[in-house]
């Protein structure tokens, strides 16, 4: 069923999409996002690419797709409604609507069409009435200085199907848990988990009709002022998601509920519970075997909470992952959540009550033995028996990523705060991401600094080697010059003698020392001019060489 919303020119629609985003146009005209995307593609209206608005907000360079085509061509936007016809409508039949000849409870075609038409009209009407419903002031009364809400069954039914329960809770100034309890007491059906996300995505959704009830149509309840809807600080903390993703996360957080106890748990939770059972079995065997006294570290959940509390903790984890899996979140074998690509761990702890210790049979036996021995030996040491025991009391605490904690209290239990836990996990994922990026950036800078120092070290050492070699070469050259000067002096002293052979030999040695000539010697070989004087000094050859 298509409901016309507004008709715009292609240029007007293009301008709005690039000015307030597709999500903004979706909210402005109350058209599901997926349906609007489909209509924009059909009209060949270009839309901003992924990351466009984030880059725009950060002041980065962006690329805007130019408008093309006929600017004045009209585009009729519509909202498509889908209502399941038979499964839920059959439940509306009572004795008054059944035909006399319907012995098997078969519904006539005309009646089906009538009920379908009625359901579609009611659904369309509730969507149109959403702004008015949220702005209505709830009926209240005052008792003993306290303000009480007066919940009307039909009004509450229209409200919870026109807007998420968290918005209705804010209107009545109570928690969303309180609204769910009131709906249950008045037999008012509420949208199932994922209803608003599907509706926003333009998928098929079914509105459960208001059943007949013999209960009172009205109920009163105190205004607590408490609401679990995300406050402004929380919403600002989720800005990293972008408007569209943030809206989906907030919607899912507002609808998260504990699965039925008989519902099959997530496969990772089932596998981990088997690990816990196996660990307990092994530890029990070690207690009975004195040769295996070494204890192993307990798996997750074991050892931090009572055995009776482990199923409850598993149900909480199960509720979280089943609500978050449509958001591409995952659960590891160690029951850690992967949220936005980051590993987010949640830990459980359980409060303990301090109670007087009741001595065991073994402790009583030791006390009796002590009393008997003390009669004979005054120096006998009294057995050390503790005065108190600390017993788990069932009050759980849940900590997200080692920081934000939620705990059972008089006002609520952990199960009532699952939406807040989900939002905190997303906030923690961004915090962990920034910490990881900071570590990676610090590591990158450290590596760059190490590479810079290494490059400088190599250049410096090369310069030292060159300078040392230059110095050694200069020393060789100096020796060569000294030899030549000595040859001249020696020749002048022995000018009347035949020293030509010696002069030739001495000049050969000068040329061997001179790095500018570097003549190879027949016996001494080539001289390494760059080396230090000790390493290149001619040495005697041993006998075994």
- The 3-class secondary structure across 96-142, one letter per residue, is CCCCCCCCCCCCCHHHHHHHHHHHHHHHHHHHHCHHHHHHCCCCEEE
Domain end point (choices 256, 274, 294): 256
CB 140 within 8 A of CB 148: yes
- On whether both 23 and 140 belong to a single domain, the answer is no
pLDDT recorded at residue 230: 56
In a domain, 114, yes or no: no
- On whether both 429 and 442 belong to a single domain, the answer is no
Q: Which of 45, 32, 43 is nearest to 79 (CA)?
A: 32
In a domain, 400, yes or no: yes
In a domain, 374, yes or no: yes
Q: Which domain holds residue 61?
A: 1-80
The whole-angstrom separation of Cα 216 and Cα 231 is: 34
Q: Give every residue of the chain whose pLDDT is below 50, as ranges.
A: 83-123, 125-126, 144, 227-228
CB 513 within 8 A of CB 483: yes
The whole-angstrom separation of Cα 135 and Cα 295 is: 62
The whole-angstrom separation of Cα 53 and Cα 65 is: 14
- On whether both 250 and 356 belong to a single domain, the answer is no
For strands 140-143 and 146-152, give the pairing. antiparallel
**Burial (CB count <10 Å: 0-12, 13-18, 19+), residue 455:** exposed
- On whether both 411 and 468 belong to a single domain, the answer is no
Give me the number of domains the chain comprises: 4
- On whether both 294 and 401 belong to a single domain, the answer is yes
Handedness of CA 13, 14, 18, 23 (dihedral sign): positive
- On whether both 420 and 282 belong to a single domain, the answer is yes
The whole-angstrom separation of Cα 63 and Cα 50 is: 11
Q: Which of 398, 52, 7 is nearest to 244 (CA)?
A: 52
Identify any residues that bridge with 148 across adjacent strands, giving them in sequence order. Answer: 141, 222
- On whether both 284 and 376 belong to a single domain, the answer is yes
The whole-angstrom separation of Cα 76 and Cα 8 is: 6
- On whether both 61 and 154 belong to a single domain, the answer is no
In a domain, 89, yes or no: no
Give how far Cα 293 sits from Cα of 107, 264, 288, 296, 444, Å. Answer: 71, 37, 9, 10, 46
- On whether both 267 and 391 belong to a single domain, the answer is yes
In a domain, 116, yes or no: no
In a domain, 153, yes or no: yes
pTM: 0.52
Domain end point (choices 51, 80, 109): 80
In a domain, 100, yes or no: no
Cα 16 from chain centre? 33
For strands 337-339 and 342-344, give the pairing. antiparallel
- On whether both 376 and 448 belong to a single domain, the answer is no
For the chain, what percentages of helix, strand and coil (3-state, to nearest 5) are there? 50, 15, 35
Domain end point (choices 80, 103, 118): 80
- On whether both 33 and 70 belong to a single domain, the answer is yes
- On whether both 140 and 197 belong to a single domain, the answer is yes
The whole-angstrom separation of Cα 170 and Cα 158 is: 16
Q: Which of 41, 117, 34 is nearest to 80 (CA)?
A: 34
pLDDT recorded at residue 104: 40
In a domain, 86, yes or no: no
């Amino acid at each position: 069923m298509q409901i016309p919303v507004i008709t715009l020119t292609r240029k007007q629609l293009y301008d709005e999409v690039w000015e307030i985003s597709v999500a903004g146009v979706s909210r402005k005209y109350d058209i599901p996002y997926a349906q609007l995307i489909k209509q924009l593609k059909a009209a060949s209206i270009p839309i901003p690419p992924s990351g466009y608005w984030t880059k725009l907000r950060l002041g980065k360079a962006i690329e805007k797709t130019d408008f093309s085509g006929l600017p004045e061509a009209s585009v009729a936007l519509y909202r498509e409604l889908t209502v399941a016809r038979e499964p839920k409508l059959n439940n509306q039949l009572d004795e008054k609507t059944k035909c006399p000849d319907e012995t098997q409870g078969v519904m006539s075609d005309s009646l089906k069409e009538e009920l379908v038409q009625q359901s579609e009209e009611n659904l369309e009407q509730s969507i149109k009435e959403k702004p008015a419903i949220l702005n209505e002031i709830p009926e209240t009364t005052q008792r003993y200085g306290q303000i009480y809400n007066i919940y009307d069954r039909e009004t509450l039914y229209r409200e919870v199907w026109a807007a998420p329960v968290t918005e209705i809770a804010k209107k009545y100034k109570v928690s969303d848990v309180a609204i769910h309890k009131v709906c249950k007491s008045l037999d008012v059906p509420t949208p199932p988990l994922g209803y608003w996300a599907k509706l926003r995505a333009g998928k098929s959704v079914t509105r459960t009709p208001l059943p007949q009830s013999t209960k009172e149509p009205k109920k009163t309840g105190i205004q607590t002022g408490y609401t679990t809807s995300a406050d402004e600080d929380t919403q600002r903390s989720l800005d990293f998601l972008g408007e569209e993703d943030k809206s989906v996360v907030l919607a899912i957080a507002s609808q998260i509920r504990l699965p039925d106890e008989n519902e099959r748990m997530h496969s990772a939770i089932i596998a981990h519970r088997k690990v816990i059972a196996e660990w307990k079995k092994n530890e029990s065997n070690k207690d009975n075997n004195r040769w295996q006294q070494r204890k192993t570290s307990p798996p997750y959940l074991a050892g931090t909470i009572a055995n009776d509390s482990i199923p409850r903790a598993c149900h909480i984890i199960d509720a979280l992952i089943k609500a978050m899996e449509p958001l591409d979140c995952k659960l590891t074998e160690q029951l850690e959540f992967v949220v936005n690509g980051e590993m987010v761990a949640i830990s459980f702890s359980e409060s303990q009550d301090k109670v007087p210790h009741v001595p065991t049979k073994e402790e009583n036996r030791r006390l009796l033995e002590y009393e008997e021995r003390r009669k004979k030996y005054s120096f006998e040491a009294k057995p050390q028996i503790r005065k108190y025991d600390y017993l788990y009391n069932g009050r759980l605490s849940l900590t997200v990523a080692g920081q934000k904690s939620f705990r059972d209290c008089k006002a609520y239990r952990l199960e009532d705060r699952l939406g807040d836990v989900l939002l905190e996990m997303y906030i923690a994922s961004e915090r962990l991401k920034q910490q990881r990026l900071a570590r990676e950036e610090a590591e990158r800078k450290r590596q760059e600094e190490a590479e810079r120092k290494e490059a400088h070290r190599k250049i410096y050492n090369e310069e030292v080697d060159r300078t040392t070699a230059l110095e050694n070469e200069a020393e060789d050259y100096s020796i060569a010059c000294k030899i030549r000067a000595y040859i001249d002096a020696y020749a002048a002293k022995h000018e009347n003698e035949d020293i030509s052979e010696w002069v030739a030999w001495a000049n050969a040695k000068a040329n061997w020392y001179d790095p500018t000539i570097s003549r190879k010697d027949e016996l001494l070989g080539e001289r390494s001019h760059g080396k230090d004087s000790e390493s290149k000094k001619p040495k005697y050859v041993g006998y075994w060489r």
